[in-house]
Amino acid sequence: MARNMRFRDATLANQVAKRICELAGNERNVKICHVCGTHEWTITHFGLRELLPSNVEVIAGPGCPVCIVPASEIDEAVELALRGVTTICFGDILRVPGSRRSLLDAKAEGADVRVVYSIGDAVKIAKRISGETVFFAVGFETTAPSTAVEAVGKPPRNLSLLVSHRLIPPAMEIMAEMRDLGLDGFIAPGHVSTVIGLEPYRVFPEKYGMPTVVAGFEPLDVLIGIYMILKQLREGKPRLENEYTRAVRREGNAKAQQLMQKVFEVADGSWRGLGTIRFSKLTLSKEYSELDAHLRHGLKVETGVDLQPGCRCHLVIVGRIRPNECSLFMKACTPRKPVGACMVSSEGTCRIWARST
Ligand code: SF4
């Protein structure tokens, strides 16, 4: 059996689910939060919620890096595109609504907006053309290192960076602070953890008393992660554990961390659905400020309209409601015609639920 296929074994999954039911008992309700679009995909696609006892709930937090980009930063990219700057982005962000337009709308109006799979492709485009280009750098700690690599690699002079990278642990801390959400534990994201390691999550068991388990993305990874959280709760000993040992090391990726520290500074950042979170955004450090699209092009967009009428993304993003509790879900808002950001990206909770209905 291929290595990862073991983690999809239905018999094993049922055995773990049985152990989860035994541990959960029926004395109290338990609410566990994950912060990763891929975790939500696994949970929804493989029907893991149906395997859990009724008193164990797993909610999706702000784990989609595209959904949480505030409208003001989409507006900045749109403004640059409409000013004639060749704007290069990942496909997922193309249809995310800004205050009035998405980048796709700008493209339809004649702007030069190009989709790439990596920032390396953006560098190639910039080398081929003579005009100004900008790369819209979106993503969590998983994609920020590749932006840093290109920044230190002396990109072409006609390429600037519109940096919208965000950090996951500060968003988790905001979720932990929302006492009315009643969270009991976190499943921490495997991809991000390969970069940052385990230490940034230590605050959750130590300050908030919340069991926190880094988990991989196969069904068994997630179920075992839930089991480990329940075991900690049962023992009354919240701690930080790593289920995803085949990919995540305690120290993370030191080289990626050093690069990020060299290229970026940490600042307060606005998140769609969550407002401003302290020390949650990466901006270019002084040494790399000549790459900053804000400075090069004098961008001044400060506030945006995050929610379209009727859209409840702000509640979906923090797990306060499920997608099907939004009245627009699969009516006015579908993957073909998304109204809100959570329906656009393949990592958005509404989009994942839409694909599974
Ligand atoms: Fe927003 Fe659409 Fe999700 Fe409703 S279904 S919360 S409109 S993305």
How far apart are alpha carbons 88 and 98 in whole angstroms?
16
Q: Which atom of ligand 1 is nearest to the CA of 321?
A: 6
Computed from CA positions of residues 39, 214, 315, 308, in that sequence, does the dihedral angle turn out positive or negative? Answer: negative
Residue 292 to residue 201: CA distance in whole angstroms: 30
Is the C-beta atom of 96 inside 6 A of ligand 1? no
Q: How far apart are CA 279 and CA 262, in angstroms?
A: 16
**How far is it, in rounded angstroms, from Cα 190 to Cα 154?**
31
pLDDT tens readout for residues 36-67: 999 999 999 999 999 999 999 999 999 999 99
Ligand 1, atom 3, lies closest to the CA of 350
Ligand 1 close to Cβ of residue 353 (< 6 A): no
Q: Is residue 66 within 6 Å of ligand 1 at its C-beta?
A: no
Q: Give the distance (Å) from ligand 1 centre to CA of residue 190.
A: 26
3-state SS class at 328: coil
Q: What is the pLDDT of residues 72-126, one digit of tens each?
A: 999 999 999 999 999 999 999 999 999 999 999 999 999 999 999 999 999 999 9
**In the chain, what is the straight-line distance between the N-terminal and C-terminal CA atoms, in Å?**
30
Query: Residue 329 gets which letter from DSSP?
Result: B
Those residues with Cβ within 8 angstroms of residue 76's Cβ, 6 or more apart along the chain or in another chain: 162, 293, 294, 299, 301
Distance between CA atoms of residues 29 and 279, nearest Å = 32
Best substitution site from 321, 342, 347, 356 to test ligand 1's pocket, by max atoms within 8 Å of Cβ? Answer: 342
CA–centroid distance, 43 to ligand 1, in Å, is: 19
- Centre of ligand 1 to C-alpha 226, Å, is 27
150 CA distance to ligand 1 middle (Å):
35
Confidence tier at 4 by pLDDT (50, 70, 90): low
* Percent helix / strand / coil, the chain, rounded to 5: 45, 20, 35
State the pTM of this model.
0.93
- Residue 14 tokens, joined: 């049922």
Would you say 270 and 243 are in contact if contact means Cβ atoms under 8 Å apart? no
Residue nearest to atom 8 of ligand 1 (CA): 340
Does ligand 1 have an atom closer than 6 angstroms to the CB of 311?
A: yes
The pLDDT tens digits for 131-173 are 999 999 999 999 999 999 999 998 999 999 999 999 999 999 9
Nearest atom, ligand 1, residue 307 CA? 1
Ligand 1 pocket: which of 44, 343, 345, 347 to mutate (most atoms within 8 A of CB): 343
Distance, in Å, from the CA atom of 259 to the CA atom of 119, rounded to the nearest integer, reads 15
What are the Cα distances from residue 94, in Å, to 81, 100, 140? Answer: 12, 14, 17
